[in-house]
Amino acid sequence: MSGSQEAVQSTKKAEELAAFQESTEELLEEADELQQFFGFVENAEETDTLDNKTKELISLAIGVVLRCDHCILWHVDAALEAGATYDEIIDALKIAVVMGGGPAQAYAVEAYETLQALEPEHE
């Protein structure tokens, strides 16, 4: 992929993530039950024992196994934000494929492309 193609892909993924985050916030404003669930998620993601980076790598691997495009986008970004390195994310993707088999391989490629697109923004 050329430099200009990488820049376009990076911008596209960043815009997709921003739009998803905005829609999520709007939906949470409309539904108290979802706000309560999101509160549970935030509590579960607190770093009492496992650090945030480790939790984001686990969440990314689960997102790959569950074949959740938005989860992949969200957690690649969050893992990078938490300080995960390129190699750590690749390791998490390998474990996801081990646990999820062939279908997870296809979504690991999606996560890999997302990593390549978003990593430059976190450097």
Model confidence over 75-86: pLDDT tens digits? 999 999 999 999
Q: Give residue 6's identity as a one-letter amino acid code.
A: E
pLDDT mean over 2-28: 85
* Domain at 3-122: CATH code: 1.20.1290.10
Question: Residue ranges of the domains in the chain?
Answer: 3-122
Residue 115 burial (C-beta neighbours within 10 Å; 0-12, 13-18, 19+): buried
- Provide the pLDDT for residue 2: 66
What's the pTM value of the predicted model, to 2 decimals?
A: 0.84
* Terminal C-alpha separation, the chain: 19
Q: Residues 49-97: pLDDT tens digits?
A: 999 999 999 999 999 999 999 999 999 999 999 999 999 999 999 999 9
Kindly tell me if the per-residue pLDDT of 7 is higher than 80: no
